[in-house]
Structure 1
Amino acid sequence: MKRYALVDLDGTITDPRPGIIGAYRHALMEMGLEAPPEEELLWVIGPPLRQSFPKLGVAEPHVEAALGHYRAFYSAGAMFNAPVYAGMPEAFAALRAAGVTLIVATSKPHVMARPILAHFGLDGHFHAIHGAELDGRNDDKGDLLAHIMAEEGVDPAEAVMIGDRKFDILAARRHGIANIGVLWGYGGEAELTEAGADRLCATPHELATMVLAKN
C-alpha cells in the first residue's frame, strides 16, 4: 500500500468535456478563428492550455489573449459543467479510511481546481489541492509533482500517481513514482500503455483496491 495518492482532476475525478470544450470554442471564436467540432477537440483535455492553443491556430504572440477569453468563459460557470465520475467519491472514502493521504495534482490552475472540488463536495477528501499557477508555473505535470513533493514532504517511493493521460504517467516516471492509468478518461489504453503505465484501472469502483494492493 502507498501512503500517498496523487490524483489528476480532469478526466480522472470529473468529466470536464462540456465545460472545457465550450471554453475552447468560445476562445477560438473570440480570436476570429474557426472552432472545430467538439469531437475534434477531445485531445485538448489534459495538456496545458498554453501548449494547445498554438496547435489550434493561435499565433504565439496571441496565446495569452486566447487564454484570457478561455478563462473568462470558463470561470463564469463552465468550469462546473464537469460531472463527477460515478464511484470516485466512494473510492476516495475507502482510501482515506485505509490511511492513504490524497493530494490533487492537476495542470489546471489551483485557483480553479479548488472551487470545482468544493462545488461537488469533494474537497474534504484531500489533504492538499495542487495545480498550475496562472502565469504558467507548474503547467508541466512533472514540474508540478516536484513542487508537490517539496511542499508536502512526499517520498516518491511511498506515492502513486493516478491519471488518465500520458502526461500523468510520464511525470510519475520522471520522479520514480508508481502510477495507475485510468481508462474512463481521455487517454485510452494505447496512449497510457505507450507512456509506460504500471497498471491500468478499468472503472472507479476498482481504484481503491488497486491502490491498496501490496504491489
Structure 2
Amino acid sequence: MPPLIIFDLDGTLIDSRNVMEESFREAFIAVVGGNGEPPLDDFYDLLGDSFPNILRRLGLPQQMAPVFKAAAQRRIADIDAVPEALDACKELHRRGITLAILTGKDRERTHEILTYFSIDRIFGAVAAGSDGFTPKPAPDGVLLLCGTLGYDPSDSVVVGDSAFDIQSGRSAGARTVACTWGMGRVEELKAAEPDGFLQHPSELLPYLLEAIA
C-alpha cells in the first residue's frame, strides 16, 4: 500500500502571510490598542501551534482570537495558492495516494480555505489546531491522522515548510520533506534533519512519486 502523505497547509500549499499579518495587526490594534507594534516576528516563529496557544505564549489577550479569525475570513480571496504544490496534490490523489492535512489553523478556517481552492475532497482527513491534540512539534497530529486513516507512522510522509513540521514527523516515526518556499528559515529546516529538502514547488511531485515508488 502506498504511504500516507501528510501536508502542512500554510507556507506549503498556500501563502497567506500577508493575510495573517494584516489580520494579526488588526486584532492587536482592536484589543491591545494602537500603542506599539504587534510582535509579528514572534508570531511567525510560533506558526503551527493553534492561535489561542500562540496568544498565550506571546502574553497577549485571548480576545484577539475572534477578531483575528473574522479578519482572516474576510481576506480569504487575498490568499495565494502555491500552484505546483496544489497540482502535485491533485495528481497524487488521482493516482490513488491517500493525503491528509495537518495545520495549526482552526477547523472552520481550514475547511473554508480548502473549499475556496477546490481541494477539500482530495484529503482523506484533516487535523486542525482547534481539534485539541498537542500541536507541532509534538507527534500527536501525525499519530492522529495515521490512526484515523489506518496507517503506521513509518508508512507516512510529512511535508512542510517549518522545523516544527519536520520535528513532528520525525518524532512520530514518519519520513519528512522540507519545503523552502514557505515561511520557515532554511537553516532551521536543515537543522531539523529532514529526509528530503526541496527548493522549489516544481520539485514536489517528482520527489514524492519517487519516494513512494
2:201 counterpart of 1:204: yes
Out of 98, 103, 125, the position equivalent to 2:100 is 103
Contact 2:179 / 2:199 at 8 angstroms: preserved in 1? yes
Alignment correspondent of 1:27: 27
CA RMSD of aligned residues (A): 2.3
* TM value normalised by structure 2: 0.86
Q: What letter matches 2:167 in structure 1?
A: L
Gaps of 5+ in 1: none
Alignment correspondent of 1:138: 133
Structure-2 separation of matches of 1:130 and 1:11? 16
Structure-1 separation of matches of 2:192 and 2:2? 21
Q: What letter matches 1:130 in structure 2?
A: A
1:16 positional shift:
0.9
Contact 2:102 / 2:126 at 8 angstroms: preserved in 1? yes
Contact 1:169 / 1:181 at 8 angstroms: preserved in 2? yes
Alignment correspondent of 1:8: 8
Contact 2:28 / 2:38 at 8 angstroms: preserved in 1? no
Q: What letter matches 1:26 in structure 2?
A: E
The percent identity for this pair of structures is: 25
Structure-1 separation of matches of 2:15 and 2:125? 21
Contact 1:104 / 1:128 at 8 angstroms: preserved in 2? yes
Structure-2 separation of matches of 1:68 and 1:123? 24
1:113 positional shift:
0.5
1:131 positional shift:
1.0
* TM value normalised by structure 1: 0.85
- Describe how 1:92-171 pairs up with structure 2 within 5 A: 92-133=89-130, 137-138=132-133, 140-141=135-136, 142-171=139-168
Contact 2:48 / 2:135 at 8 angstroms: preserved in 1? no
1:44 positional shift:
5.0
Q: Summarize deviations over 1:122-166 as a string: whole Å, max 9, x none.
A: 223222222122xx6125032222221222212112110000011
1:173 positional shift:
0.9
1:42 positional shift:
4.2
Contact 2:51 / 2:104 at 8 angstroms: preserved in 1? no
In terms of mean alpha carbon deviation, does 29-38 or 196-205 score higher?
A: 29-38
Aligned length: 208
What SS does structure 2 have at the residue aligned with 1:186? coil
Structure-1 separation of matches of 2:66 and 2:97? 37
Query: Judging changes above 3 Å, is the alpha-carbon distance between structure 1 residues 114 and 140 closer, same or farther for their aligned structure 2 residues?
Result: same
1:93 positional shift:
2.5
Structure-2 separation of matches of 1:123 and 1:86? 15
1:52 positional shift:
3.0
Gaps of 5+ in 2: none
1:88 positional shift:
1.7
1:91 positional shift:
0.8
